[in-house]
Structure 1
């Protein structure tokens, strides 16, 4: 289709590539053991570890709100990046745990940081951090922002039904952040992302907010675990393969693999499908933190940094998947 503007306009121009300048993760202070979970549901430490790989999960205290955790993660990522906060042109926050329609959590965080950046929230559940990285990459390369602050934060403990044996042991809380900016070399690979709304009923908030308000009850997350497991272990694996190929890497050229920490059996299935050699470091952070949705990937990367197991310049495949159903993955170069 031809396009001929009456008066030509200028377009924004950005960097040819982008990269991550600094990352961080925030892990809440309260540790919830499997033994404690077993006081809520009929289960055992062995059953939970066998089914999920989880030994403990971290839940936020009353003071560790989604705002507080986001700001703590953001401050550390900004400090590590060396980018002045006033140069950040956009803030993108992924969460399902901000229960205020307006203002957005991103705008609140901007105010806390003393920033006047463009700010908005997205809702992509467990794929949210990868979504935010993809949007940061696009904003930098389009010229819409020189630097972007991407945040994933959750307080899934607020949405956990402690009487539900199928989900009570799974969820955790936390936050993570990344500062994205211009680069002369590619530091963020092409994103492979999408959705499958036909299976959206497999992970839901119940009841929806209008009904919850009318009934005076707090909504909870419900999940049909078996089909979700099969989708993640057998379908999402191939999207991870596509993300690796889109970055132009063979499995043996990858340094680190950090999938969304949903279930360690899913992680193991992905490693097999991707045919990753033993030289690739794989995160199993779910053992300590549970499933923290949009925060799980940056929290896992932070743990690897803290343990001295990853280094600047290494290639890292990340992929998130979950409620929606949605998925998103790309290769990043660690800062």
Structure 2
């Protein structure tokens, strides 16, 4: 009987480097009030956003992913030749073929890399991070460049205040590689497929979401998923130094943090609030928030961070990581 050889990977994985990219153009709430029925106070009260970044004509899912990916590789102290796989989480590429990952790999300089796109909407980055970690542990990859990149302004009605005030454009990236000690915990993930109609793209044109329904779902269902991620990683809520949920809405972020603190998380747990100045950037929001917090001195190497993504699908995923 023929026996197939199986690859053997690393005992554990960790995040080696982080990077992010945003377009130059800043759009404030006052700017939006000039083209739709809204104002700064209304937007701040409902979603907590003061400004967001909007892509220019030359900014694409691929170009932003390339910039964020290159920064992550450099932050890891590596060169592109040290990376052998590229994953791009996104839900806003304008065409399904070619995928973004192959283009990003070539432009970053990761020649001949394995690469594919992954679509789990706003949970996409956590899904991709889990896949990358498992690939390194299984031996099918050595070091993986994981990127969340979105140009949401391509799929948002620019005068619809229910979506145009929220979504923005950006990319965030991490390099995942082998480690002697676990730096990325097991993923807690799943879907609520019976609720897919809450966030859709009717006629494949613009995003539609039932805002209040999504808010109620996220503020009640996501904290238990976060607790499950902690359980899988074998840590207590009090061990968490940093909470980085998907930056969907500041009120949702604060509600998740409140629920976790009721379950034992510390009052001094740092909570990501990148939504305020970056808007909702879907799969880019978690890695970009961590990158910004690190630059601001709010996140430090060795911190225990809880990541939790959630969005259309309805898909969700979370894991505990050690900050690089």
Give the TM bin, normalised by the shorter chain. over 0.9
Partners of 1:302 and 1:89 lie apart in 2 by: 23
When structure 1 is superposed on structure 2, of 269-278 and 16-25 the one drifting more is: 269-278
Q: Is this contact kept in 2: 1:25–1:301, CA < 8 A?
A: no
**Counterpart residue number, 2:271:** 282
Which protein is bigger by CA-based radius of gyration?
A: 1
Say which SS state the counterpart of residue 95 (structure 2) adopts.
coil
Residue in structure 2 matched with residue 48 of structure 1 by the alignment: 43
User: How far did 1:163 drift?
Assistant: 2.4
CA distance in 1, matches of 2:81, 2:266: 43
When the two structures are superposed, what TM-score results if normalisation uses the length of structure 1? 0.93
- Asked if the contact 1:57/1:288 (under 8 Å) is kept, the reply is yes
The one-character-per-residue Cα deviations of 1:19-75 (angstroms, maximum 9, x if unpaired) are 010011112211110011112221221111010010101111112211111100011
- SS of residue paired to 1:160: coil
Deviation of 1:316 (Å):
0.5
CA distance in 2, matches of 1:315, 1:291: 24
2: CA distance, partners of 1:51 / 1:245: 32
**Which stretch of the first structure deviates more once superposed, 323-332 or 162-171?**
162-171
Q: Does 1:116 align with 2:116?
A: no
Shift of 1:8: 1.4
Counterpart CA distance in 2 for 1:165 and 1:177 is 29
User: How many residue pairs get matched?
Assistant: 320
Q: Which residue of 2 aligns with 1:201?
A: 197
- Contact in 2 for aligned 1:255/1:281 (Cα 8 Å): yes
Gaps in structure 2 of 5+ consecutive residues: none
* Equivalent residue for 1:99, pick from 85, 94, 100: 94
Structure 1 counterpart of 2:320: 331
- Which residue of the other structure, out of 282, 292, 310, is the alignment partner of 1:321? 310
Partner of 1:145, secondary structure, is coil
1:32-71 matches, cutoff 5 A? 32-71=27-66
Tell me the alpha carbon deviations over residues 171-226 of structure 1, each in whole angstroms, 9 at most, x when there is no partner: 01100111100000000001001111111111111213xxxxxxxxxx11011001
Q: Secondary structure at the match of 1:100?
A: coil
Could you tell me how far 1:84 is from its partner in structure 2? 2.8
SS of 1:57's equivalent? strand
Quick check: 1:146 aligned with 2:142?
A: yes
Q: Does residue 1:192 correspond to 2:192, yes or no?
A: no
Partner Cα separation in structure 2 for residue 151 and residue 164 of structure 1:
28
Task: Return the alpha-carbon distance in structure 1 between the equivalents of residues 253 and 103 of structure 2.
Answer: 34
Deviations 1:242-272 (A, max 9, x none): 1112111112211100100001111111111
SS in 2 for 1:99: coil
Structure 2: how far apart are the matches of 1:111 and 1:85?
A: 10
Structure 1 position 231 matched with structure 2 position 183: no
Structure 2: distance between partners of 1:87 and 1:46: 48
1:162 corresponds in structure 2 to: 158
CA distance in 1, matches of 2:67, 2:282: 18
- Aligned alpha-carbon RMSD (Å): 1.0
Selected match of 2:169 from 157, 170, 173? 173
Is the partner of 2:288 in helix, strand or coil? helix
State the TM-score, normalized to the length of structure 2.
0.97
The alignment partner of 1:220 has SS state of coil
Instruction: State the 4+ residue runs in structure 1 displaced beyond 4 angstroms.
Output: none
Greater mean deviation of Cα atoms: 300-309 or 133-142: 300-309
Separation in 2 of the partners of 1:272 and 1:40? 35
- CA shift, 1:235, in A, is 0.6
**Could you tell me which of 282, 287, 294 is aligned with 2:283?**
294
